[in-house]
Structure 1
Amino acid sequence: MFEDARVYLSIYIITFLIGFPDALLAFCCCIRKIRSKPIPIDIFMLNLVISDLIFLIFLPLKMKEAADNMIWKMPYILCPIHLFTFFLPIYSSCLFLAGISAERYVCVAFPVKYRSPRRITFTILISVAMWMLVIGIAAMSYKAVYIDFEAENITDPQSCHSNFINRQLKDLLTMRLIAAVFYFCIPLIICCFCYINAIRILLKLPLIGRHRKLRSIGLALGTLLVFAICFAPYNVSHIVGYIMYEDPKWRLKVLMLTTLNTCFDLIIFYCISWEMRRAFVVCVESFYHFYDCLNQFCCCFNESAQSNNAQM
């Protein structure tokens, strides 16, 4: 377990260092775009960014758990808060990725209807409904594990969300199966349908620029990459656990992969937002400029040191 905990901690740290600056940058770009001239896809993108930020802000709790060799040494009241903020973004991300794919398809297939001002209000209502659905499944899981059995003091204080008795496991496995079907499988089907049809339509339009077609393909591939690497193994563990009526031993390993979601979302932000692409270019140019300045400083310092040594 100790070696696994070190791997978990390394992945969490890398995810935080990469994902948090990118999410903050994407959040600023979304706010700026929505204030100026919003379109429906910007609303879904903003909600996806908020979902990532919720996850990243509370990720240090997961780091502390991994640093303690997967033993919960923090106040136990933080355990349900940590679980809520860790698992909620997993399912909200799937729903908002499906919303982005649907908006992309509508934009390509029905461009006139897509520009209707009422679609912004419609998209906001859909986003609120998605958050309510995600909070609902999280609340039901919390009730099944904690509230219904709180009086029996079943949960191990040295672990967070593990070592369940049969009654707990039965309710929890049912919740996980529902989540796998409605919060992963259905959004994945929606994404595949929308992106396949959107790309097929774009490839038939000669007036659409090559860069726009490539961005659409990149958006589709980035979304499928998130589903395949980050979410698919974890939701497969739900289905396997329900069939085998047990917690798969490899579940914690695939759960770790879900944290990479915030890193891969950078591909989606880059393909959707022109502001994000411009900000990314500025950041890269600033990095290279800083590197050149640092390199020149080191060269000057070495030359000065060699000159002083020669004089001595």
Structure 2
Amino acid sequence: MGTNTDQSFFPGNNWLYFSVYLFTFLVGLPLNLMALVIFVGKLRRRPVAVDVLLLNLTLSDLLLLLFLPFRMVEATNGMQWPLPFFLCPFSGFLFFTTIYLTSLFLAAVSVERFLSVAYPLWYKTRPRPGQAGLVSAACWLLAASHCSVVYVTELSSGSGHNVSTNGTCYLEFQEYQLAILLPVRLEMAVVLFGVPLLITSYCYSRLVWILSKGASHYRQRRVAGLVAATLLNFLVCFGPYNVSHVVGYIQGESPGWRGYVLLLSTLNSCIDPLVYYFSSSGFQAEFQRLLKRLAGVWSSGRREGSEELKVMREGKGNLRESSKVDNR
């Protein structure tokens, strides 16, 4: 029985993976933490549906970022899995679940944005945070149930031999594993990517058409930024990766370039803050206010540090003067 290996992971490409993971972690973590603070504050003041959805998207991104160090450890070890085995399917499950959660939440946000513009009076009188909470729970359940195939694949008969002997995690598959994995990947490409992309494309095309009739230039620019960031996520981060699912199903094996396009999917947690920024003028104002506050804390800290250094220098100067007087 043959083994299918994703050749893009071998050899020497591990530092490319480590670099992308590290960049995503360093850029995405602070941005999403700031977004978390803003959305929690907005929901405490006036809960609305779109903020509930964006908060869940932020939590999904943070979950991905917090588990990226596991992937970094794997990359520094030459794509060999050095951690306990139970962390292999667990980290893979969270990794893929959070990736597909982004496409689902982006589609839900597009529906909310379309409703707010197409039916503004109805939308303002119905914040519907409870309904948004139910939609969010459905998104988490839908993505998690599909990505549980990681457990099915890794814990199926014989897969433990692959991990313990070859030392890799979710990189090499036997034919009986591919028979389970490839159809599920194809379904994920259709249900978790294709359908959300169609919904998002329809909502934002209608949104742009409505706003082109007389909205302010500022609002048009903000919506254009929102659409651009969303499409960047779908077409650049998720598109090639889901195409690899279709190609893999047709070929009967994982394509050799699948690992590279998976890296693009990881970068979505750095692009999602752009979606947050253009989602509402309220978020922009809160984000700028938080940046000014952080800059103020940083500048005051630097001033205090410089003042302490000045005092220390003056103290040393006084000691020198005193020693000179004593010597005289």
Fold match, TM over 0.5?
Answer: yes
How far the C-alpha of 1:118 sits from its partner, in A, is: 6.7
Give 1:227's match in structure 2, choosing from 221, 231, 234: 234
Q: Hey, what's the Cα distance between the residues in 1 that align with 2:35 and 2:156?
A: 40
Residue in 1 that maps onto 2:259: 252
Amino acid at match of 1:46: L
Contact 1:155 1:162 in 2 (8 A): no
Q: Hey, what's the Cα distance between the residues in 1 that align with 2:199 and 2:267?
A: 22
Q: Any gaps of 5 or more consecutive residues in structure 1? A: 305-312
Q: Hey, what's the Cα distance between the residues in 2 that align with 1:95 and 1:189?
A: 11
Q: Any gaps of 5 or more consecutive residues in structure 2? A: 1-9, 314-328
Deviates more, 1:279-288 or 1:85-94: 279-288
- Structure 1 segments, 4+ long, off by >4 Å, are 282-290
How far the C-alpha of 1:252 sits from its partner, in A, is: 0.8
Deviates more, 1:28-37 or 1:115-124: 115-124
Residue in 1 that maps onto 2:163: 156
Residues 123-162 of structure 1 mapped to structure 2, 5 A cutoff: 123-143=132-152, 145-149=153-157, 153-157=160-164, 158-162=167-171
Amino acid at match of 1:260: L
Contact 1:141 1:175 in 2 (8 A): no
TM-score by length of structure 2 reads 0.83
Residues 139-288 of structure 1 mapped to structure 2, 5 A cutoff: 139-143=148-152, 145-149=153-157, 153-157=160-164, 158-205=167-214, 208-282=215-289
Q: Hey, what's the Cα distance between the residues in 2 that align with 1:284 and 1:164?
A: 47
Residue in 1 that maps onto 2:320: none
Amino acid at match of 1:142: Y
| Distance of aligned partners of 1:105 and 1:16 in 2 relative to their CA distance in 1, 3 Å threshold | same
How far the C-alpha of 1:8 sits from its partner, in A, is: 1.0
Q: Deviations over 1:122-162 (max 9, x none)?
A: 2211111111111111224422x034326x63432300012
Amino acid at match of 1:119: R
Deviates more, 1:112-121 or 1:173-182: 112-121
Deviates more, 1:109-118 or 1:153-162: 109-118
Specify the SS of the correspondent of 1:204.
coil
Q: Deviations over 1:8-63 (max 9, x none)?
A: 11111111111001111101111111111122111110111011011011110011
How far the C-alpha of 1:89 sits from its partner, in A, is: 0.6
TM-score by length of structure 1 reads 0.87
Specify the SS of the correspondent of 1:160.
coil
Specify the SS of the correspondent of 1:201.
helix
Specify the SS of the correspondent of 1:156.
helix
Q: Deviations over 1:195-220 (max 9, x none)?
A: 01011101113xx3221111111101
Does 1:74 find its partner at 2:83?
Answer: yes
Paired residue total:
296
Tell me the percent identity.
38
Amino acid at match of 2:208: I
Does 1:104 find its partner at 2:96?
Answer: no
Amino acid at match of 2:109: I
Specify the SS of the correspondent of 1:164.
strand
Q: Hey, what's the Cα distance between the residues in 2 that align with 1:121 and 1:113?
A: 16
* Larger Rg over CA atoms: 2
